Structure 1
């Protein structure tokens, strides 16, 4: 019975469990299907191997002689990494490369695997994640640097493959097969790691190791050429390795291909464009490099006839120009290159029998045209070294350049350039003459330079038809006209007259230059065309030429003022609108040249000065002084000061009135105050002296320590007189006087007190400096000199105190006057209020009388009493009949007559007169309003 029960219980439990299992849901298993299973991945599957084991196999001393196993392992690496290496594996890869490179000398079995691995390195590296480029950046840079160090291997094939690999990495052009789950690095990353590595510096240094192998040398130069083409960082690294000198010295090594000179020149040109000019010039500035450049230039000049050779020749000429311009001690003269270059520059224009130029020809092709301009530019650079001038003079350089100073309508010569080419060379030659003519002035005169220039200037202003091409930098603004030729013609004359050579100046005057230039300026002044920057520049230069010609000769000044043309010119420009000074076209230079022309061409000749005064020239100068910026004030004040030597000038200055009716004295005081403010001179708020011990000293002068100066050197107090305008203002007031000045305020008189005593205060400042220097030098004057110094010290102190007391009295008088004026003003206000109160009281009494009859009667009685009291008591004779003048019981206080004036309500209360009364409605139709101001 118990067994049956147990069995039944077991069956029941089993049924319950089965039922529960049936009720529970079946679990859902997600099936993960990868791209690899589906087959959607593109490319080969990457199967990496352990590079660390390969490295250990190669470096382990126990397996050092197992060459077959080494070769098998390396081939396995090449097979598995045939598409590219991973960024994270670069460390092991380059360890393997270094090991193979070191063992090539032991066994050549490593050569082929080394070349294959280098080819794979040239392919873009693979990255597993986007962040790998940032994470492995430094590792990649160091790996590329290791690639350059492999140039130590003596195998030519390895060195060539290294160069090819570097180019492949830098260009990132090697196409690779797609690999699953990997992505090649970007083009920017590949360039960046090459530029930031020191592979370029290593390649430059490796040139010494491959000196005897032309093939490898050309390939290394090719790599350096590509690396330096666009990268400033690479050029800086190459220059740090002295690339300029190394490449230049190997430029003329034996070469059967002709590529060595080309690649070397291209590298130097890239360093010039992307590197530091000064550093490249320093490296090329030695006798060896200059000699190589000379030989290379002469080789291409004499044996090269193709466009390719002519381009290299021009590039070498630019490099030599750069070296010459960078240093004044370049060894070009020692190598004889200066003489050869000057001969080339004058070859076409000057006949020569030099065998060096016997078979040389310059054609009209673009390269030779550029070569001609480069030669002209080079001689300008050569002329900056005085030691080269005698060579330029011997080869008659100026005569060759003056060949182009002629009208373009007569283009004849040994070489028939096209009109556009001739114009460009002409302007280039004239630009060079601006520099060369002043320093070769004797050659200039022997070439009759003045005559040539004046003839060309006459052609430029003539009506002959000529349409300029306006090409190049020098031809700007000259398209369709002759302005470019005229511009440089005037520039040459300006450069020549700036030498102050009397023979040149007299020759120009004798040929009528003054009248010719004044005629051009008169035409420009009367022209209605709008002037541009070139027109303004030419007018400024012509005024400067006139100033230089007339400065030291009264006869020339009279010639300038004859017929009034010169005076009309300067007054025309002095009337220029001050707004144009900041236009950016050069009007500020024009107005400065005008003031200088007044100073040099007018001042000093009484006839010309009188004509200038008659044209109100002083008024125009003062107007300019008022409206011009501070930088022009010094020149204008100097011109006015010298003009004041003519006694007729002072009345013009005294009667002048500017803006807001200010006088010249007030304007000068205002300029003085602004000048002292800029200098940092200490003054009180009211303009009086704040420091009587140093009344004129500014912040800069006060901050400088006193030093012992030799007698030939001016002290700081003397230099201060020249560096600011205070001395000129003091001298001007000495001319116009310190009294009877109109338009002056108290502040002006306070300033005028300092101006009047400026010379005494400045002398005291010099004495104090002298005594201070004696103390520094520890020199004790003898007793009489000591007493004199003490007397001067007291006099200096008394002068400063007297100025301060005068200023104090002026300010006190002004303060008292202000108080008096204030009292009078308030008294006037009180009087006005009394009158208003009286008017109000009178009106109140009037209203009261008219509205209250009793008040009117009382006022009448009071009036009668007043009238009676005002009469004189006269004793009348007995029997005299007296008649009363007043009407009795008259209810008015006004004196009656035939006409009665009735005072009505004031108009300002009614708003106007009443008009158009309507009798029907009893209203006013219209009321006129009167506005009281």
Structure 2
């Protein structure tokens, strides 16, 4: 705070620009600045900095470099002046003094005490005079912190420990209040940013090589690394640049009575894997030495650790090993014997072993032991990716141990057994692992009678409800609280994994055990229940069951017969799924695809099931689905329809189908063909006809890639195109249903149908064009007969395309003529309507004239009689003596007389009808009233 009083000469208000005249004496400006220091209100200690330049010169000057007593005296004064921390502007000199002391320490141990005192001050944040000092001296602060790490070269344990303590305080601890006059301490976040920007972490890791025989200092360095690696990706990456993971892991089992070395090393490794580049860290650990150290540390903690801390550390070691196995499947777990021992520890409870390692080992129901069991199952599942591991797992009878959990759950347990909740979680974890392991260990699966166990568990899952309610814990138990859905879900996943191997022995075993009928029964229950309550898990289980049925019945007539009418009824109900559900996000699109696949594998090919499927209008349902489903489902449905048309009874169903707006199946197929060609970028004109006769089928991608010479064993673009789109299936379908007399086709459809009919010819021409182009690209000239054949083929290709184009033009021209004729007929109808209206007007005018003029009526009567006489064939009979007149005499009407006559009277709307004059109250007619105009 300061107050200032100023006295200045007064300028005339009339002429502000007028300068002061020399006649008046100039009054000097007197400024009085009163500071907080003058008033005595400054808070905090007053910093009295030393002249560090003189101290540095005293220690480095050749004339005074040997004055050790003066050096020590000056160094001891330095901490007294900087009790609250060093100024940022003095950091360069402080570091210089420390380096001079460090260089002389080996010859003069007397520098140890002053260095320790100075390092004690380094634990405090740096002091700044201005806020801008943080930016101005940031580079200096980073270099200064880095120099502290370089001081680890000093061969003094006391100094090394002081450095570690100072770094921990500087980086982690919130400093005590530093109230210094005219100075302010840096924040903790600024200190952390300075450390992350320096190379301090890398230097400390490298210093571990100097401390291999000094356990105490090594532990202190590990403490610092432990703090630096917490939630700091920059520090972790710097440490990994110095091979921190390898340096720490290869010395895990160094002698340490306290056990602190293993704990802190594992903690740093964990931080490196979590916050650093995991792949880089694991790559450093991926060697024989590190894996052996991990193995020994894990076995020691498992067999000799009994405390809660030992169990947690044991689990952490196993998680690190799991991460290594996941990222590096080829890590030397087999070579080090780690896999064999892990298999032993994972199975010793379920499979008896005489190994000395597990003779006195017991796993309790504590949380740590429970997690260990799950981790052991998990790491063995991850390691099974390596083919060399599978024989060791089979030798250790891992599948037998895991299948011991594939059994019905119980609500109670013995005191030393897993609790029901723990058993359920282990059961689900075991089945998830079995789903991965069974394809690699089919023989073990059969030896364990896996199919029988799975079907028994499935029967229990669908049995009486209420006896067991799941807990739904952990990841695998999702959706299983209060029910058995989690067990059912993983049981089906395991069965799906088993049948996906395609091994006949597995498939036959499941069929012999009655899997088809049991799954049909379960699916029938789903179709009979309300589908609005289904969630993603229910849909997933139904998909798995349909996939299992497809795999079991594929290619075997007897199994398709076992699928029977019951299975056909089920898939027909699934085909009636509301199309709106396909985009619900619950997976109904997968369910529809699984249904079509089940039809293809379990129904098509067996006349018994095919006929019943046709009887249940299955073809209609398939085409209904084809009409509304997304484009990416068309290929599968068309393939199923194509195989179904091998049965001649299916073709009338296809021709009889009608969709929205009375659309026929042939029209739908043509529409799909056009959409497929639009997506491919095939050149067509506005009417859908061929635009380029040289490339009638080629899409944009194929045209851009061009023709590349390939070996004979590699398919060319024209051949690959057959399987990459649906045009070949559509062509085959039309070959089945025919190209003529198809109902419901438009002219555009006929234009498209002309291309479809010649698809095979165009495709052959496309292949020949590729052959010719490849020969030209390779510079090969065929012999003269072959050259003539090639020229003939080339002309035939163009002629065939021109013929189709001509046919398409004729169709379009006929359609244009037909449109013109229909237009003329429409206009003729309009003209006839106008003529009839004019005739009606004239007839009415003539009628009015006859009724209003008697002479006109007589003339009309005469004309009518003449017209009647003229219409007769002969009129001689009128001259006979007995001729009787047919007309009434003196009848002045032009209408032919008869017993009844229709008279156009005044409309009822005007008269009010016969009761208009009736008075309902009196029962008499109302009197007539006249209104004067």
TM-score for both structures, normalised by structure 1: 0.89
Q: Which of 419-428 and 858-867 deviates more?
A: 858-867
* Aligned position for 1:764: 765
The reply to whether residue 778 of structure 1 matches residue 779 of structure 2 is: yes
Write the deviation string for residues 829-849 of structure 1: whole angstroms up to 9, x where unpaired: 333334444555666777889
How many residues matched?
892
Alpha-carbon distance in 1 for matches of 2:236, 2:82: 34
Give the 5 Å matches for 1:499-648.
499-528=501-530, 530-561=533-564, 564-648=565-649
Q: Displacement of 1:901 after TM fit? A: 4.2
The reply to whether residue 429 of structure 1 matches residue 421 of structure 2 is: no
Q: Displacement of 1:372 after TM fit? A: 1.0
* Aligned position for 2:494: 492
Q: Displacement of 1:101 after TM fit? A: 2.4
Q: Which of 786-795 and 236-245 deviates more?
A: 786-795
Change (3 A) 1:355 1:834: same
* Aligned position for 2:655: 654
Q: Displacement of 1:915 after TM fit? A: 10
Change (3 A) 1:326 1:904: same
* Aligned position for 1:446: 447
Change (3 A) 1:896 1:572: closer
Q: Which of 403-412 and 494-503 deviates more?
A: 403-412
Paired residue secondary structure (2:388): helix
Alpha-carbon distance in 2 for matches of 1:222, 1:205: 15
Write the deviation string for residues 490-531 of structure 1: whole angstroms up to 9, x where unpaired: 111111111111111111111111111111111122223711
Alpha-carbon distance in 1 for matches of 2:718, 2:594: 30
Change (3 A) 1:120 1:606: same
TM-score for both structures, normalised by structure 2: 0.89
Paired residue secondary structure (1:690): coil
Give the 5 Å matches for 1:78-477.
78-409=79-410, 416-463=417-464, 465-477=467-479
Q: Which of 378-387 and 773-782 deviates more?
A: 773-782
Change (3 A) 1:906 1:737: farther
Alpha-carbon distance in 1 for matches of 2:903, 2:715: 90
Q: Displacement of 1:620 after TM fit? A: 0.8
Alpha-carbon distance in 2 for matches of 1:919, 1:48: 132
Alpha-carbon distance in 2 for matches of 1:54, 1:29: 41
* Aligned position for 2:715: 714
* Aligned position for 2:688: 687
Whether the 8 Å contact between 1:91 and 1:143 is mirrored in structure 2 is yes
Q: Displacement of 1:416 after TM fit? A: 1.5
Q: Which of 879-888 and 525-534 deviates more?
A: 879-888
Whether the 8 Å contact between 1:121 and 1:165 is mirrored in structure 2 is yes
Q: Which of 911-920 and 139-148 deviates more?
A: 911-920
Change (3 A) 1:61 1:841: farther
Whether the 8 Å contact between 1:730 and 1:756 is mirrored in structure 2 is yes
Q: Displacement of 1:214 after TM fit? A: 1.0
Write the deviation string for residues 240-261 of structure 1: whole angstroms up to 9, x where unpaired: 2211111111212222321111
Change (3 A) 1:746 1:129: farther
Q: Which of 166-175 and 434-443 deviates more?
A: 166-175
Taking only aligned residues, the RMSD between alpha carbons, in angstroms, comes to 3.3
Alpha-carbon distance in 1 for matches of 2:86, 2:173: 14
Alpha-carbon distance in 2 for matches of 1:868, 1:468: 105
Whether the 8 Å contact between 1:574 and 1:591 is mirrored in structure 2 is yes
Structure 1 residue runs of 5 or longer lacking an equivalent are 1-22, 925-933
Alpha-carbon distance in 1 for matches of 2:535, 2:227: 45
Q: Displacement of 1:803 after TM fit? A: 1.5
Q: Which of 94-103 and 716-725 deviates more?
A: 94-103
Alpha-carbon distance in 2 for matches of 1:541, 1:483: 13
Paired residue secondary structure (2:405): coil
Alpha-carbon distance in 1 for matches of 2:29, 2:101: 57
The reply to whether residue 678 of structure 1 matches residue 700 of structure 2 is: no
Q: Displacement of 1:662 after TM fit? A: 1.0
Whether the 8 Å contact between 2:178 and 2:185 is mirrored in structure 1 is no
Alpha-carbon distance in 2 for matches of 1:912, 1:267: 107
Change (3 A) 1:169 1:657: same
Change (3 A) 1:490 1:914: same
Whether the 8 Å contact between 1:859 and 1:893 is mirrored in structure 2 is no
Alpha-carbon distance in 2 for matches of 1:391, 1:367: 26
Whether the 8 Å contact between 2:405 and 2:427 is mirrored in structure 1 is yes
Q: Displacement of 1:638 after TM fit? A: 0.7
Paired residue secondary structure (2:211): coil
Q: Displacement of 1:672 after TM fit? A: 0.9
Give the 5 Å matches for 1:729-768.
729-768=730-769
* Aligned position for 1:663: 664
Write the deviation string for residues 39-89 of structure 1: whole angstroms up to 9, x where unpaired: 433212233444444444444444333434444443444233211223343
Alpha-carbon distance in 1 for matches of 2:314, 2:579: 52
Change (3 A) 1:803 1:143: farther
Paired residue secondary structure (2:622): helix
Whether the 8 Å contact between 1:348 and 1:414 is mirrored in structure 2 is no
Q: Displacement of 1:389 after TM fit? A: 1.3
Q: Which of 425-434 and 94-103 deviates more?
A: 94-103
Whether the 8 Å contact between 1:427 and 1:475 is mirrored in structure 2 is yes
Alpha-carbon distance in 1 for matches of 2:904, 2:388: 111
Q: Which of 821-830 and 607-616 deviates more?
A: 821-830
Paired residue secondary structure (1:604): coil
Alpha-carbon distance in 2 for matches of 1:524, 1:371: 38
Write the deviation string for residues 604-627 of structure 1: whole angstroms up to 9, x where unpaired: 100111111111111111111111
Structure 2 residue runs of 5 or longer lacking an equivalent are 1-23, 918-926
Q: Displacement of 1:916 after TM fit? A: 6.1
